[in-house]
Amino acid sequence: MMTTPLKTLLVAGLLLTGMSRLPAGELTVSIEPAERVASIGVVRRFGEDGQLLRPVDPKATFAAPYRDAKSESAPATFRDLPAGTYDVIVFLKDGTRLEGFHMPVFDELDETGPEAFSQPSSEEVQTEIRRLIKAGRYYENQVTPLFIRGNDEHARVLVQLVRDEPTSLDAEFGAPVASVRYELWQFTNRFGTWSRDRKSKILHRVLEAKAQLHKRRWLWTNTLGGIRLTADRLVQRVTFQIPERWTDLPGLQPE
């Protein structure tokens, strides 16, 4: 009889093999108004098993994130993309960074489908998750949940973590420094009590001069994330309207 770990490896292998044999896909991204766009890029962060396809770059910068493909025209069409799930990263001419995200699989044995995280959690669940996050102790002095999605049993959260208080790195850097991280956290309701799982996924970590970080605008939207290229949908198109008010999108705002 095949053991559970062996079954898991076999299934994961079949998924990856199947996805890799699919024809290349095509994704067109339209950002309106187009004249405000400096560049558009797409990134496939996770494999079908939810594992990061590449480690987080400790030397990453705000203005030059990793992208599988990028274009300086708008709209932009990306061809020959491997099948998978993509997020879009847009830079505007004023320096604003707009980024899409999605909630991947956290555990290959988890039977909770992605549809469970396609919508915001109920107000009651969101209130409890925010309370738990606020009560936590962190290295960062600003920890902000940007999106809370899920159902009454599971919730996944896109979290922004900022540290702009003095650290030992200030002397090494030669000026006050600050860092920002974006992570995905999972919370589970166990017999009526919510708690954070140990699992988390780091999307970005950027360290730079505090004065510079305080000028950044890095905003997030699910509209630009979770775009799947599959066997039956190898051609996709996504359209995004730049909001009139930056406060309509959560994320890092200039001080």
Domain locations in the chain as residue ranges: 4-252
Per DSSP, the chain holds a count of helices (H) and strands (E) of 4, 14
Distance CA 192, CA 182 (A): 28
Residue 198 has pLDDT above 90, yes or no: no
Tell me which H or E stretch contains 242: none
Give residue 7's pLDDT band: very low, low, confident or very high (50, 70, 90).
very low
Output the pLDDT for position 17.
47
CA 210/CA 216 separation, integer angstroms: 10
Burial tier of 141 (Cβ tally within 10 Å: 0-12, 13-18, 19+): exposed
| C-alpha torsion angle, residues 212, 217, 220, 224 (rounded to 10) | -110
C-alpha torsion 57→63→66→70, nearest 10: 180
Q: What are phi and psi of 126, to 5 degrees?
A: -60, -40
| Residue-level pLDDT at 8 | 46
- For residue 139, the model assigns a pLDDT of 96
Measured CA to CA, the distance from residue 69 to residue 55 in angstroms comes to 18
R_g over Cα of the chain: 19
pTM here?
A: 0.89
Q: Binning pLDDT at 50, 70 and 90, where does residue 113 land?
A: low
Task: Write down the residue that tokens 């079908």 correspond to.
Answer: 48
Mean pLDDT, rounded, of the chain: 91
Inform me whether the pLDDT recorded for 186 exceeds 50. Answer: yes
Looking at residues 5-32, what average pLDDT do you find? 66
pLDDT of residue 172: 84
Average pLDDT rounded to a whole number, residues 208-214: 97
Question: 86: pLDDT confidence band, cut at 50, 70 and 90?
Answer: very high
Q: What is the largest CA-CA distance in the chain?
A: 61
In this predicted structure, what is the pLDDT of residue 11?
A: 46
Give residue 106's pLDDT band: very low, low, confident or very high (50, 70, 90). Answer: confident
pLDDT recorded at residue 112: 64
